[in-house]
Amino acid sequence: MARYNAAYEIHVHGQVPLRADVGFDQLQDALRPLWKYAGALSLEDGAVSAYPEEPGIRFDAHEHWLQMCWTVPGDDDFRQSLDEMCMSLNELTSAGAAIEVTFYDNQFDDDEGPSGEDAKDDFVMLFVGPTPADIMQAQRDMLVNDVIHLMERHFDGSELGGVVQEIDKLFSERFDNLVNSLDLGKPPRGNGGGHGGSGHGGRKPRHLH
């Protein structure tokens, strides 16, 4: 059903590699929490973004990719739909991948917002993958890229090998702990280790492409 007074515009953005045997029906079932939340009766209907500039949700059957650049009006209950979607999507992936989700505060206007107040935006990074190790690898790769990008403002890339080694050490310890825990026998959580944060201090620009 339409959410005319929704607290947020919610943008979901990511590119997820899928197994070669995955078909449209399987993907439609895995993404059911998203298109049902949008009030659609199928993935085809629900794949259209609230913004026509955005490609929405696309299945590239030839290259085996799920591509998402999709906005829907919603509230905090959308987080439950994301959890359900990630749990189902894990089984269809061929490698780990990140999915960015941004909650834009509908009550805040960049030009007319109250002086001194920040938008109540929120940003969540989710990870999906066929195994906990694949999810952790995607997390590691993103962290390495972020850290290198930040530190290259002050250091040459050739000086940062030790930093990467320390990051790898942290993830190796986390994986060892996972192997030694009962969690390894459970399905990998889509948001395992995902990051959440508010948009205070400046709004994250929308993906309109």
Please report, in tens digits, the pLDDT of each residue of the chain (209 residues total). Answer: 556 688 999 999 999 999 999 999 999 999 999 999 999 999 999 999 999 999 999 999 999 999 999 999 999 999 999 999 999 999 999 999 999 999 999 887 654 555 556 678 899 999 999 998 899 889 888 888 888 888 888 888 787 788 888 887 887 777 777 666 655 444 444 444 444 444 444 556 665 55
pLDDT at 185: 47
Beta strands (DSSP E) in 4-137 are 8-17, 56-60, 65-74, 97-105, 122-128
Angle formed at CA 130 by CA 68 and CA 127, multiple of 5 degrees:
45
pLDDT at 158: 81
Query: What is the distance between the alpha carbons of residues 162 and 52, in angstroms, rounded to a whole number?
Result: 45
Token pair belonging to 119: 């938008």
pTM: 0.77
